[in-house]
Amino acid sequence: MRYYPDPAREIDLVRVNRAIEEAFAEHARGRVQMPPKLYVTLERGDFRTMPGYIPSLGIAGVKIVNVHPGNPARHLPTVMALTVILDVETGRPESLLNATDLTDLRTGAAGAVAAKYLSPRRSVRLGLVGAGRQARAQVMAVGKELSIREVLVWSRTRESAERFCGNLPGVPCRSEDLEAVCDCDILITTTPSREPLVRDRWISEGTHINAIGADAPGKQELDPAILQRASVFVDDILQAVHSGEVNVPIARGLYTKEQIAGTLGEVVTGRKGRKSVDEITVFDSTGLAIQDLAIAAIARESAEGIDLPFLSFSHDGSGESPGKVSSHGDVVSGEKKRKKG
């Protein structure tokens, strides 16, 4: 068994986009297993358990991820994640990945895949509502698929929007008010809002929107009137109805499950898509276990890992004795040594 403490550090974002695209395609083809995400509520947050299996990639496992909004005050990220990968042949725990950064990247990649297929323009002005880690991940991933002319950023404080731009190398970027940010080709919303921030009249025809922030019941970022005007594509119908951008409008009778235009996987496989350049399209992302597996498959190929003992002497004949418990973890590069642990 091998642990990867920082598997996102050297990862190739183009490869991530392609892997996420393929995971969505397999989802549309009905070739993955993905039971519904389970939520456990803690006093100051929650954690979600996300198992899955992608046979075509030969990868199976579980991501465990928390959401604790008070964590930044403790100098901890709001969201932390760990992915456990099992050997599909034997069920043996094979890899553990710190999936905190990978979670940002796989969500960014889903936005990039949506933008690739649903944006009517290849050279785009990006509007960002929210200026946190996910906003950055979206820009980095979309930049691998489309040419970004400029980035307009709104955040609750102008300081955070300006700091965001300061940390974005090589792309013209400026802080704007909310309405001005919406005057763009691709709008990306990444806030934890529970009330609509983006008004219907601010959105022009032909805009594509990545609605990323809503990932739990009660969350929403867009005026439901936008959904009525748009073709809304989701990552997974059940998850979106439960916790995506459409969850509040559906619960309030302002939108229906039947109005959902399709899944991103159906878009990737060519079964669904944008109908005209004037149409407004929305990608409603909740985050799928198969995205976590797809990025884990890439990450562990190149990242540094620490070998850990797993089987005790009583279970196999390999001579890996419990005494080895007290030896130091063996640090190896993923490329150099691929011994199963």
Binding site for its own copies (CB under 8 A): 3, 5-6, 9, 33, 35-36, 38-47, 49, 51-53, 55, 60-62, 64, 66-68, 71, 74-77, 80, 82, 84, 86, 88-93, 96, 98, 100-101, 304, 306, 308-312, 314-318, 322, 324-331
**Least distance from its own copies to the Cβ atom of residue 9, Å:** 6
The residues near 249 (Cβ < 8 Å, ≥ 6 apart) are: 220, 224, 227, 255
Please pick, among 37, 63, 116, 272, the residue that the annotation labels catalytic: 63
Beta bridge partners of 63: 50, 83
Percent composition of the chain: helix, strand, coil (DSSP 3-state, to 5):
35, 25, 40
Pair of tokens at residue 99: 């999936």
How, if at all, do strands 45-54 and 186-189 pair? unpaired
Active-site residue flag, 144: no
Kindly tell me which of 31 and 252 has the beta carbon lying closer to its own copies: 31
CA atoms within 13 A on the CB side of 327: 12
Which strands make up the sheet holding 147-154, listed edge to edge?
173-175, 147-154, 123-129, 186-189, 208-211, 281-284, 231-234, 262-263
**Least distance from its own copies to the Cβ atom of residue 184, Å:** 28
Query: CA-CA distance, 287 to 266, in Å (whole number)?
Result: 16
Q: What are the start-end ranges of the H helices in the chain?
A: 13-28, 100-118, 133-142, 158-166, 178-181, 224-229, 237-243, 247-251, 264-268, 289-302
Kindly tell me which of 157 and 321 has the beta carbon lying closer to its own copies: 321
**Least distance from its own copies to the Cβ atom of residue 326, Å:** 6
DSSP 230: S
Pair of tokens at residue 26: 């397999």
**Least distance from its own copies to the Cβ atom of residue 151, Å:** 20
Query: CA-CA distance, 239 to 236, in Å (whole number)?
Result: 5
Kindly tell me which of 72 and 172 has the beta carbon lying closer to its own copies: 72
**Least distance from its own copies to the Cβ atom of residue 255, Å:** 27
Task: Count Cβ neighbours within 10 Å for each residue of 144-157 and write b for 16 or more, e otherwise.
Answer: bbbebeebbbbbee
**Least distance from its own copies to the Cβ atom of residue 133, Å:** 9
Kindly tell me which of 66 and 119 has the beta carbon lying closer to its own copies: 66
Kindly tell me which of 81 and 232 has the beta carbon lying closer to its own copies: 81
Kindly tell me which of 76 and 251 has the beta carbon lying closer to its own copies: 76
Say which amino acid occupies 47. F
Neighbours of 37 (CB within 10 A): 22
**Which residues participate in catalysis according to the annotation?**
63
